[in-house]
Amino acid sequence: MQVCPTGVVHENTFKEIYAQFFPHGDVSQYAHYLFQAFDQDHNGTITFQDFVVGLSALSRGAPVDKLRWAFQLYDLNGDGIISRDEMTDIIVSIHSLVGAHHAHPSSGAGGGASSTAGAGSGGPDDDDPDSVRDHANRVFQKLDLNQDGVVTIDEFIETCLKDENVMKSLAILDTVL
């Protein structure tokens, strides 16, 4: 049976496929964000070309290219900046994705983008939702270099390029994908 006979994937199908890789967590929100990042023309579908372009950036791109892609994932509303709420939403969704008793959000799960979530600040207590939000706040503070309440792509890239854990996670994508 062919999952995508038309050559395009709609969000619900994407979520079903993604759920097979993370059977112990709730993939719905993170898969939604990931779907939006792959859906370059925002038409509600991912074409084969959309998917290959995204995977190519993540697997063959230079670290800056991978970080640009990750920034696009974290910039949920596409306004060119990451707000504290966007950062929190992504990190909470990653925590839900991997399940309450599995690896913390900075462990590299999920399309490579979550590797930037850690930003070297340590993971949250798996059983405490407030701890996950505290973790998101610490990550945001680290990324918001000028402390103006938003993270620009330049701040995101600069901070991540200097973070050894993020760089190791990005390098793993070269061999995993």
Residue-wise pLDDT for 55-100, tens only, equals: 998 988 899 999 999 999 999 999 999 999 999 999 999 999 886 5
CB-based contact 123:79 (threshold 8 Å) = no
Confidence of residue 3 (pLDDT cuts 50, 70, 90): low
Question: Taking the domains of the chain in order of start, what are their residue ranges?
Answer: 9-176
**In angstroms, rounded to a whole number, what is the distance separating the alpha carbons of residues 177 and 23?**
20
What CA–CA distances, in Å, run from 50 to 41, 46, 97, 118, 129? Answer: 9, 6, 23, 27, 34
Fold classification of 9-176 is Recoverin; domain 1 (1.10.238)
Confidence of residue 129 (pLDDT cuts 50, 70, 90): low
The predicted pLDDT at position 109 comes to 34
